[in-house]
Structures are given as C-alpha cells and as structure tokens.
C-alpha cells in the first residue's frame, strides 16, 4: 500500500467523511478546503485503499443524476485515528451537523 502523508488536509477529509459528509462538494464545505485540495486527496486516499466509493441510486423523483459518495474502509478508519492523534484540532473543526440544504445527508 503506498504511503500517504499524514497531513492536516488529509485528516480533514477523512473526518468529514466519517462525520457523514460523503460527497466531494460537502467535504469542501465542511472542511473549508479548496476543490484543488479535496479532490486530489479523495483520489489519493481511494487509490491507497483508505476510502471506497459508490454510486447512489438514481432519484426517480427529483430526476437528478447519481452522485458518487465515499466511505471509510477499515484502513481508512485506522488512518483517521492516527491523524486525530497527530492533529487533535481536526475533531473540532469538522462538525457533525449537516448544513441545511435542498438535500439531506
């Protein structure tokens, strides 16, 4: 498994996913990081096996296209706790409540 640096933004991303913000855009909003940071992190983490991605069901009602959402693998959880050890502030900076919007979590 390729090494991934235990960095602050990586931690923010993992935490956001752990807190239920599974889509790329929500991760951006929650963590405050730019798209230029979040998406590469997602690719890297998925490529390294810390995340897995899946497609949601197509919504027949609202007729919007299916989105891709991420979840932590066991390795990802392990990585998250390591990162929290290193950067405790992460736990504080990513909240659990979803941001109100057209769709729920």
Partner 1 sequence: MSSTPPGRVPTRTALRLLALLVPRRVRERWIREWTGELAHWRPGAGSFLLAAARDTLSIRALRGSGAGPSRGLHVASPRERMPVRQLVQDIHFAFRTLRKAPWFSLATVLTLALGIGASVAMFGILNRAFLAPLPFPGADRLVLGRTTVDGHLNPWVAGADYFDYRDQATVFDELAAVLPFPTEYGVTGGGEAERAPAGIASVNLFGALGVRPALGRGFRREDGLEGAANVVMISQGFWQRHFGGDPEVVGRSLSLNSEPYTVVGVLPAGFFFMYRADLWIPLRPDRFAASSRSLYNWYLVGRMRPGVTPVQAQTEMDLISARLARAYPRTDRNRGLLLTNLQEALVEDYRPTLLILTGAVALVLLIACGNGAGILLARAPARGFDLSVRSALGAPRARLVRQLLAESLGLALAGGLLGTILAAGLQRMMLAYLHMDRLGPAAPGLSWTGLTAALGLSVFAGLLAGVYPALRGTGSSLGHGMKTGDRRTGEGAAGFRSAMVVVQVALSVVLLAGSGLLVRSLANLRALDPGFDSRDLLTARIWVPTARYPEAGDRIRFFTSLLEQVRAMPGVSSAALGSHVPIVNSGNIYRATAVGEGKETERIFLRASSPGYFETLGIPLRAGRGIQPGDDAGSRPVVVLSETAARRFFGEGNPLGKEVQLEIANPVRMVVVGVVGDVRLSSLEDAPEAAFYVPFAQRATNVMSVVLKTRVPPASLSAPLREVLKGMDPDIPVSGVATVAELVSRSMSDRKVLTLSLTLFALFPLLLAAVGLFAVLAYHVSRRRHEIGVRMALGAQASRIGGMVLRRSLVLVGVGTVLGLGGAFALTRFLRSQLFGVGATDPVTLAGVVVFVAVVSLAAAAAPTWRAVRADPRVALRAE
Binding site for partner 1 (CB under 8 A): 1-2, 5, 7-9, 23-25, 28-29, 34-36, 39-40, 43-44, 46-49, 51-53, 55, 58, 63-68, 103
Contact 23, 71 (CB under 8 A): no
Going by C-alpha positions, the residue among 31, 2, 16, 10 that lies closest to residue 79 is 10
Q: Closest CB to partner 1 among 35 and 96?
A: 35
CB of 39 to partner 1, least distance (A): 4
CB of 22 to partner 1, least distance (A): 12
Q: Closest CB to partner 1 among 48 and 84?
A: 48
CB of 81 to partner 1, least distance (A): 19
CB of 52 to partner 1, least distance (A): 7
Q: Closest CB to partner 1 among 39 and 84?
A: 39
DSSP string for 4-67: ----HHHHHHHHHHHTT--SHHHHHHHH---HHHHHHHHHHHHHHTSEEEEEPPP-TTT-PPP-
Contact 73, 52 (CB under 8 A): yes
């Amino acid at each position: 498994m390729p090494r991934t640096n235990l960095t602050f933004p990586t931690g923010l991303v993992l935490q956001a996913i752990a807190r239920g913000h599974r889509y790329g855009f929500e991760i951006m909003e929650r963590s405050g990081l730019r798209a230029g940071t979040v998406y590469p992190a997602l690719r890297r983490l998925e490529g390294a096996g810390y995340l897995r991605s899946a497609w949601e069901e197509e919504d027949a009602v609202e007729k919007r296209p299916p989105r891709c959402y991420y979840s932590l693998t066991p390795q990802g959880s392990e990585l998250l706790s390591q990162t929290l050890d290193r950067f405790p502030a992460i736990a504080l900076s990513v909240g659990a409540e979803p941001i109100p919007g057209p769709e729920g979590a």
